[in-house]
Chain A
Amino acid sequence: MNWVVSGLGAVSAVGGDPDEMFAGLCAGRSGLRELHGIDRTPYRGRYAYQIHDHPDGRDVPGRATAFVADVIEQAATRAGLGTDLRDVPVLVGSGLRELRSAELHWRDKGSLGALSADDLHFGTALRDRFGATDTHTVANACAASVYALALAADMLATDQADSVIVAGVDVLNESMSGVMERVHPVAPDRLQPFDRNRAGVMMGEGAAAVVLSRDAAEPLCRVRAVEVGCDAHHDTAPHPDGFAEAMRAAHRSAGVTPADVDLVMLHGTGTLLNDEVEATATQAVFGADAGAPLMTAIKSMTGHTGGASGVMSLVSAVQSMTHGMVPPVVGLTEPVAEAAGFRIVTGAAARGPVAVAQVNALGFGGMNTVAVLEASTR
Chain B
Amino acid sequence: MRSHAYPGVVVTGTGVTLPGADRPEAVLAGRQDHAEPVDTARLLGRGGRYRGLRYKDRATQLAYCAADAALRDAGLLSDAGLTVPADTVGVVVSSNTGNLDTVVRVVDTLRTGTTDALSPMDLPKVSCNVVASSVAIKHGLRGPNLMICNGSTSGLDAVRWAATMLETGRLTRALVLGVEPDTEPARTLLDGAAPLDGAVALVVENEAAATARGARVRARVGGHARGAGLAACVAELSAMAAADPVAWHVPRGTVPEGVLPGVPRHDLTTAWGPCSGALGVLQCVAAVGAFATGATGAVYATAGDDERDATAGLVLTPSSGR
Which residue numbers of A lie inside 8 Å of B, CB to CB?
39, 41-44, 86-87, 89, 94-97, 99, 102-103, 106-107, 111-112, 115-118, 120-121, 123-124, 127-128, 133-141, 144, 147, 150-151, 154-155, 157-161, 173-176, 178-183, 228-236, 242, 363-367
Contacts and interface: CB of A to CB of B under 8 A. Distances in A.
B276 A117 contact: yes
Given A127-B308, A133-B310, A178-B118, A157 B104 contact: no
A41 B116 CA distance: 12
Contacts of B97: 117, 120
A179 B118 contact: yes
Interface stretch (B33-41, B69-77, B186-194, B285-293): B186-194
Interface of B: 2, 4, 86, 90-91, 96-97, 100, 102-104, 106-111, 113-116, 118-120, 122-124, 126-130, 132-134, 136-137, 139-154, 157, 161, 164-165, 167-168, 170, 185-186, 188-191, 226-228, 274, 276-277, 305, 308-310
Nearest to B154: A121
B130 A179 contact: no
B168 A154 contact: yes
Nearest to B157: A136
A290 B250 CA distance: 56
B140 A232 contact: yes
Nearest to A158: B167
A42 B128 contact: no
Contacts of A89: 2
Contacts of A161: 2
A229 B106 contact: no
A115 to B, nearest CB: 6
Nearest to B102: A175
B115 A178 contact: yes
A158 B132 contact: no
Given A120-B149, A236-B124, A112 B143 contact: no
A365 B127 contact: yes
Nearest to A109: B188
B120 A182 contact: yes
B164 A43 contact: no
B106 A174 contact: yes
Contact of B133 (A41, A86, A366): A366
B128 A95 contact: yes
B106 A96 contact: no
A117 B190 contact: yes
Contact of A123 (B115, B165, B188, B309): B309
B309 A364 contact: no
B144 to A, nearest CB: 5
Contacts of B141: 230, 232
A124 B107 contact: no
Nearest to B180: A117
A364 B124 contact: yes
Contacts of B119: 179, 182
Given A96-B128, A365-B124, A154 B170 contact: yes
Contacts of B114: 41-44
B115 A44 contact: yes
B127 A364 contact: yes
A141 B128 contact: yes
B103 A175 contact: yes
B137 A232 contact: yes
Given A103-B103, A230-B144, A118 B305 contact: yes
A137 B2 contact: no
Contacts of B137: 232-235, 365-366
A144 B170 CA distance: 17
A85 B137 CA distance: 38
Output the residue of B104, B164, B191, B305 with the most chain A CB within 10 A: B104
Contact of A140 (B108, B145, B276): B145
Contacts of A140: 129, 132, 145-147
A159 B2 CA distance: 11
B134 A141 contact: no
B152 A365 contact: no
Contacts of B132: 140, 365
A54 B283 CA distance: 42
Output the residue of A99, A157, A181 with the most chain B CB within 10 A: A99
Nearest to B170: A154
Contacts of A95: 127-129
A14 to B, nearest CB: 25
Given A124-B308, A365-B133, A117 B274 contact: yes
Contacts of B150: 121, 123, 135-137
Nearest to A105: B188
A236 B130 CA distance: 10
Contact of A137 (B102, B120, B149, B170): B149
B118 to A, nearest CB: 4
8 contacts: A39-B110, A41-B114, A112-B185, A117-B186, A121-B149, A173-B103, A183-B123, A228-B145
A366 B90 CA distance: 13
A230 B190 CA distance: 32
Nearest to B112: A42
A240 B170 CA distance: 22
A163 to B, nearest CB: 12
A121 B107 CA distance: 20
Output the residue of B90, B126, B134 with the most chain A CB within 10 A: B126
A307 to B, nearest CB: 9
A151 B92 CA distance: 12
